[in-house]
Amino acid sequence: MKIFKARAPMRIGFFGGGTDVSPYAEEHGGKVLNCTINLFVRCMLRTSPEPGITIRSLDLAEVSRLAAGRTWDGRLGLPQAVLDAHPDLHPDGDDAPGFDITMFSDVPPGSGLGSSSALVVSMLKLLYAAYGAASDPHTLAELAYRIERVDLGIPGGRQDQYAAAFGGMCVYHFGGPRVIVEPVLTDPAALLELESSLIIGYIGDRRLLTRHLMEDQVQRLVQGDTLRYHDETKAYVDEATRLLRELRIDDFGRLLHDAWEVKKAFSPHIAPPIVDEVYNLARQHGAWGGKITGAGGGGFMVFACPFERRLELERVLSEAGVLVRPFSFVSQGVQSWVVNGNDER
């Protein structure tokens, strides 16, 4: 029996976040700099002796099932929507072969690292592999965006789907007929130098805030209240790219601070008191700058600091209740593979 597996990486968003959200991306052109890291959403598919489809989320301890009657029983709405985008996989009758899909994420829900989009991209890659069909990163990213933002109506931008599909340190240009993917750093030594100056830490689940936060940002943008802040945020991308290519990591870190101050003007909900407390603590212990890795409210934060202050900063963050996580940059986007297995469960 063949077992199909896939994994998609999550990302740290550095500059330009929010300019990939509609309507700014279409009307003004969005631009985002991010890099994928070695934290993944992982999926597995194998045939089942039982008809229908079963989805198991190991980290959420949830199960959804689709019987031949095509009615989902379960609360895993996101993976269910991915399968609904591939109706050919659904069983046609009681005698049709069944499938089991198992998944889990390396980080808690509400991470701000793009885990939801990584899940969708990973599942899509898994299904294409099971079909034996070719899939290019642009197709995967666009379909993932449609499932999340259109089919399910989840507010958000476009960078997460593209990061999970393409991987690496890239600038993504949104708003044209086709998203332009611009690799920034491919030199392993340069990536290692930046990586050695960065710390990421989890400060708490942001899911309850996310929808309201994104809706508030879009409303303020449409009203014209924050347009200039979006423009400023986008302008930082070019400056940050130049600093990276010149290996001016300390100036890159200081620019993170400048951009974070602008980003907070998008909405008062981006930096609740816990975020400000952690950020100020990090600055007091040597951080050049930092930010929330996602839209705001919580999840993971990233900090840039001098090499010799790293252990001190990790210690004080941990003492403050921040879950510091080791990570490495990865250059590969979503991947799939197949192995021979057995029927043992």
Is residue 215 scored above 70 in pLDDT?
A: yes
Phi and psi, residue 40, nearest 5°: -130, 160
Average pLDDT over residues 37-55: 92
Rounded CA gap, 106 and 119, in Å?
Answer: 11
Catalytic-role residue among 73, 160, 187, 205? 160
Least confident span in 37-51, 60-74, 155-169? 60-74
Residue 33 buriedness (CB in 10 A; 0-12 / 13-18 / 19+): buried
Instruction: Please state the rounded mean pLDDT for residues 312-326.
Output: 97
- pLDDT > 80? residue 175: yes
- pLDDT category at 47 given cuts 50, 70, 90 is confident
Task: Give bridge partners of residue 2 from the DSSP assignment.
Answer: 340
Does residue 36 have a pLDDT over 50? yes
User: What is the distance between the alpha carbons of residues 232 and 223, in angstroms, rounded to a whole number?
Assistant: 17
Rounded Cα gap, residues 241 and 170, in angstroms: 9
pLDDT exceeds 60 at position 210? no
Whether the pLDDT of residue 157 is over 70: the answer is yes
**Backbone phi and psi for residue 46, each to the nearest 5 degrees, phi listed first:** -150, 155
Q: Please choose, from the candidates 238, 258, 240, 260, the residue with its C-alpha nearest in 3D space to the C-alpha of residue 249.
A: 240
Catalytic residue status for 84: no
Res 345 pLDDT > 60: no
Residue among 129, 100, 110 at smallest CA distance from 7: 129
Across the range 263-285, mean pLDDT stands at: 92
| CATH number of 2-340, picked from 3.40.50.720, 3.30.230.120, 3.10.105.10, 3.40.109.10 | 3.30.230.120
Give tens-digit pLDDT for 236-261.
999 999 999 999 999 999 999 999 99
Is residue 336 over pLDDT 90? yes
Question: Where residue 208 falls among pLDDT bands split at 50, 70, 90?
Answer: very low
Overall size of the chain counted in residues: 345
pLDDT of residue 96: 64
pLDDT, average across residues 151-170 = 95
Cα–Cα distance for residue pair 74/285, rounded to 1 Å = 46
Please provide the average confidence, as pLDDT, over all residues in the chain: 91
Over pLDDT 70: what percentage of the chain?
93
Closest of 184, 180, 44, 40 to residue 117, by C-alpha: 40
Region of residue 281 (phi > 0: left; psi between -120 and 50: alpha; otherwise: beta): alpha
User: What does the pLDDT read at residue 90?
Assistant: 59
